[in-house]
Amino acid sequence: MPLLIWSGRWILRHPYRLARSCWIRSKELFMQHWLKGSQRKPRLLLVDDQRINILTLHELFREECDIFMAMTGEQALETCRKLSPDLILLDVHMEGLDGHEVCRRLKKDPKIRDIPVIFVTAQGTEEDEVLGLELGAVDFIVKPINPIIVRARVNTHLTLKYQSDMLRSLAQLDGLTGVANRRKFDEELERTWRRSLREKTELSIIMIDIDYFKRYNDHYGHLQGDTCLRSVAGALATTVNRPYDLLARYGGEEFVCLLPNTDLNGAVVVAERMQAGVQALQLEHSGSEIGQLLTVSMGVSAMMANAMDRPQVLMEAADKQLYQAKQAGRARIRFGS
């Protein structure tokens, strides 16, 4: 038996048993980290046309991951589009679409190309690895699989995926208020517009502006102004309940809310809840010409996307309604198409 170092002492032990104790602890630490950050188990997609291979991998990861399975390349791609797994273990040699072709198609699809792929193959030559890496795979596992190696590599790439997702998410947040930033809003508006065009559904936008905010900053100071922005953002965010709705800081003291599959009446209801939420904050604003409390003005617009226009048309319509709300005395909602 090989000689191993363990806790500063030389111990003769079977290497599998020692390694097993190491990955059990590593697995526990990894899962604690993942669940704390994402509030869910990582999603693992197993793709193999041999049921026994899928069952073997399923047994390894069933406790710490949500497992999804596919036995053809077509099923794998469909599952990716529906569920967006965090990692794919993809067999190279399959009937129909083989693993290489599945990976090619995966990386060409903007919606799923960031899902990391680990190839599982019985051929571990340098040529195979080079081809796989050129196609976009992040790692290789050679059959027959070694449970310790498989676990270590899967945990490594799930951790990297989690960190990448976190960085991407942070890049789309406004650093002061914690809601989405302008960049995230612009990207989501484009996607939602295309979806509206495809599904023939209405979408709505609410533009929100804090009344007399420059006076607020001048009177209370910029630090208190930042606190005010965070409070208003929090109040607005509590009224946006559907997972596909989006509240963003548009710039300065302006916020914007994107409501897919929502007509004008529905958007006005959301705006009214937003206005009530801000009023409930009871934030003092002695520089306001409306009263002694902080208020907001809102412009609401809705339309169905069409091939002749761009989403900026909807933005301009909501901005026009916001301008009319401010011209009419502020602290009110104006709406129209």
Say if residues 121 and 91 touch (Cβ distance below 8 Å): yes
Q: How far apart are CA 77 and CA 68, in angstroms?
A: 12
What is the CA angle 88-91-96, rounded to 5? Answer: 110
Q: Which H or E run includes 198? A: helix 182-199
Q: How far apart are CA 20 and CA 80, in angstroms?
A: 31
Size of the chain, expressed as the number of residues it contains: 337
Q: Which residues pair with 286 in a beta bridge?
A: none
Q: Could you say which DSSP state residue 284 is in?
A: B
Q: Which residues pair with 4 in a beta bridge?
A: 11
Q: Which H or E run includes 121? A: strand 117-121
Say if residues 323 and 300 touch (Cβ distance below 8 Å): no
Q: Could you say which DSSP state residue 42 is in?
A: P
- From residue 33, give the alpha-carbon distance in Å to each of 42, 215, 280: 11, 45, 37
Catalytic residues, which ones? 253
| Residue 255 dihedral angles phi and psi, to the nearest 5° | -125, 160
Q: Which residues contact 101 (CB under 8 A, 6 or more apart)?
A: 73
Per-residue tokens: 110 = 């903007």
Closest CA to 42 of 148, 155, 149, 147: 155
